[in-house]
Amino acid sequence: MDNGQDHEETRLPTIELENLAERRILVVDDDRDDRELTSLVLSRALRIECQPVGCALEFTRALMRGGVAAVVTEWELSWGDGGELAQVVKSADPDCPVVVFTAHGSEEIAARALEARLEGYLIKGSAGFLALPRAVERLLNRTQTARRTDPPASAATKTERAAPSSEPDFKRQAEDLRRSNADLEQFAYVISHDLQEPLHIVSRYATLLAERHADKLGDEGARFAGHLLAGAERMRGMINDVLEYSRAGREKASIEPIDFAEVVKEAMANLAPAIDESKAQIEIGALPRVAIDRGQMTLVLQNLLGNAIKFRRDGRAPKISVSAKEEDGGWRFTVADDGIGVPSEHTNTIFKMFRRLHTAEEFPGNGIGLAICRKLVERHGGRIWVGSSSDKHGARFHFTVPNTVGEQP
C-alpha cells in the first residue's frame, strides 16, 4: 500500500504523465468542498481531468462511461464505504488504482482498507494534500507500466499478486498513524491549555476597558469592546472543546461488563435540567449487558441525547428512544428522535470537528460533541453513523459495540 509520505517539497509538484489524455480521475466525497479542493489539487498537479463525484448515481454513471485512470475516495460515505466502492471499481477494471483520502483516519479504517486491497491510504490535511499528487502519480505510472508489460489479469489474480507487498506497508503505516495520532492529541492538549492564559488576559482587559472607560469609548467603542468580549468567549468555548476532545483520546479505557440501561440512566441524570425544561419523553428499550468503558459510553449517550433535545422542533416536546439490536459480532444501538433531522448530504460532515449545520444564534454549541462520540465509539472497536433522515422523521443515530472489546491504548 502506498502511504504517500515523501512530501519534502514545499509546493505542489507539476507532474508529466503519458497516455492519459483520454482518461480521468474520479474524486468521490460526500463533502462538496473537500471533493472540489481535491479535484483542483490533482488536476493542477497531474494535468489530468478530475471528475468530482458526490453520490452513488454520479459514481455509477462515471464508471459506466469508462476511461477512469484512478479513483480517490473518502472512506466513509453516506451511501457506502471505500471498501465497497473499491469492489465495484475492481470488478470493472482490476488494474484501476483506488486511493483512500480520508478525514477520519484510524487504525481500524487502515485495517479495513488493507482488507479491501486498496493501493493508497492518506489522511486529509495540509501534508496530505501535498502528498496526494505524488502518491497518485506513482500509482498511475505503475499501472501504465503494468498495462504495457503484463497480459490482462483478473481481479482475483491482481489481488493475489498485490497481497504479499501490501502487508508490510500496512503494518508500518498503522504504526505511523498510531504515533501521529498520539502526537496530535498531545499537541492539542498542550496548545489548548497554554492558550487559556493569554485569552484570559484579553478578556479581562476588554472588560476593564468597557467598565472603566465607557464614557471615553462612545457608542462605537463600546460596541467594539462588546464584539471583543463575545469573540473571546467563543474562543474560550472552542478551546475547552478541543481540550475535551483531546482528553477523550488520552484517557485509557477501563473496559468491564456494564448494564447499558444504567449508562443511559446516568446520561439522563446529567441532562436532567434540559430534559425537564424541554419536557422530553425518553423511551428506553430492552438493552444488553456489554463490555465498555462506563464513563466514555455515558459521554456518548449524553451527547446523543443532548443533541436530540437541542435540535427539537419549535413548540414540541421531543420524543426520543434508545434501543439495541444484536448483530454479528456485537450490538447496534440506536438513538432516535422526532426533531429537525439531518439532511442526507451532511450525514458524514456532522462527525467532523467544529462542523455545524446551524448558526450559534439558532442553536448554541461549537460542533464538537459528535466528533467526541465518534472518537470514543471507535476506541471501543465500533463505528457510528446517522441513518437516512428527513424533517418529517427526525434523526436516527446508530453506533456499534463489539461483543469482545480488547484493551485500548
Residue 363 pLDDT > 70:
no
Between the alpha carbon of residue 317 and those of residues 85, 186, 222, 314, the distances in Å are: 41, 41, 39, 8
Residue 162 pLDDT > 70:
no
For the full predicted model, state whether its pTM sits above 0.75. no
Residue 338 pLDDT > 80:
yes
Terminal alpha carbon distance of the chain: 25
- 65-92 tens-digit pLDDT: 888 999 999 988 877 788 888 888 888 8
Higher-pLDDT residue of 356, 395 = 395
C-alpha–C-alpha distance, residues 7 and 45, integer Å: 14
C-alpha angle 250-252-255 in degrees, rounded to nearest 5? 145
For the segment 376-390, the average pLDDT, to the nearest whole number, is 78
Output the CA torsion sign for 31, 116, 113, 122.
negative
DSSP line for 162-173: HHHHHHHHHHHH
Neighbours of 253 (CB within 10 A): 19
Higher-pLDDT residue of 409, 248 = 248
Mean per-residue pLDDT of the chain: 76
Residue 233 pLDDT > 80:
no
For cell 507539476, what's the residue?
A: 14
Write down the pLDDT at residue 216. 81
- 3-28 tens-digit pLDDT: 444 443 333 344 444 455 568 999 99
Write down the pLDDT at residue 238. 61
Write down the pLDDT at residue 191. 53
